[in-house]
A = this chain, B = another copy of it.
Amino acid sequence: MGKLTQISKAHTIKTLSAIQSEVESINRIALSVDCVIFGFDENKLKVLLIRSDLKKFQGKWSLLGDLVDPGEELDAAASRILKQRTGLDDVYMEQVKTFGSINRHPAGRVVTVVYYSLINIQNHKLKILDNEIHWHDVNEIEELAFDHKQILDCSYQQLQRRVQEHPLAFSLLPKKFSLRELQNLYEAILNTKMDRRNFRKKFFAMDFLVDINEMEQDVPHRPGKLYHFNYNKYEKKKKKWVGIDF
């Protein structure tokens, strides 16, 4: 008996209900969503992890994930996980890749769709109540439960690529930020040092920064100017790019 879309071989026109029962009888694969939640604090790129609840991985850290509800969109599942864990919605999120190795999960075949999100740690510092959840330096993570280290690496690489094409990184900063903070963020994500003057030039040229006529407070040195990111302007420009650059 052919499988769902293999049917075309015989090429008879099937009724929906025939296919429906095929779907139900054949499928023994569970579907989950895992979230790689990035944050930025103390000039380090961080990722939110939880202690694994499986005996096999006892003591190990893992990404935040959950099974997808049969009636739930994939994006919605990712949002839900994020909301449950951080209390935040309206967060930048992007699908990364789907991981489906046969033995990636000890409980059976679990295929997982991975998303990364970018959140501002300060915003939700108080909302993490579960004391089994912690922020970890991305660059200091050696091992994770399941295949989560591989997933993290893949997501981190995608973030590094994307952040050079689109100014996503602002999602990791508070609304008001100085250029030094912005540069520290980029240096943390890309793991490089950059020239301060060229960095400033580049961002001013992009024309997404709004000078809000405020200065940093309580910094142990000469305070820098504070800026907003103009999301509207960015979205408008992005539309013009579609099909050209990306």
Binding site for B on A (CB under 8 A): 3-9, 11-16, 19-20, 22-24, 26-32, 34, 50-56, 58, 64-74, 84, 95, 97-98, 100-102, 106-111, 113, 130, 132, 157, 161, 246
Quick check: A98 and B70 within 8 Å, CB to CB? no
Q: Closest residue of chain B to A246, judged by CB?
A: B161
Assembly stoichiometry (copies): 2
- Given contacts A5-B67, A66-B3, A102-B73, is CB(A23)–CB(B16) below 8 Å? no
Nearest-Cβ distance from residue A1 to partner chain B, whole angstroms: 11
Q: Closest residue of chain B to A71, judged by CB?
A: B102
Residues of B within 8 A of A23 (CB): 30, 67, 107-108, 110
Which one of B31, B55, B130 contacts A13 once the chains associate, using CB atoms below 8 Å?
B55
Residues of B within 8 A of A54 (CB): 13-14, 16, 19
Residues of B within 8 A of A71 (CB): 102, 109
User: Considering the chains assembled together, what is the distance between the CA atoms of A65 and B6 in angstroms?
Assistant: 7
Nearest-Cβ distance from residue A32 to partner chain B, whole angstroms: 6
Quick check: A56 and B4 within 8 Å, CB to CB? no
Quick check: A15 and B67 within 8 Å, CB to CB? no
Quick check: B130 and A101 within 8 Å, CB to CB? no
Quick check: B130 and A70 within 8 Å, CB to CB? no
Quick check: A130 and B66 within 8 Å, CB to CB? no
Shortest beta-carbon contacts, A-B, top 7: A74-B100, A19-B107, A3-B67, A28-B70, A27-B30, A5-B65, A4-B67
- Given contacts A28-B70, A67-B4, is CB(A98)–CB(B113) below 8 Å? yes
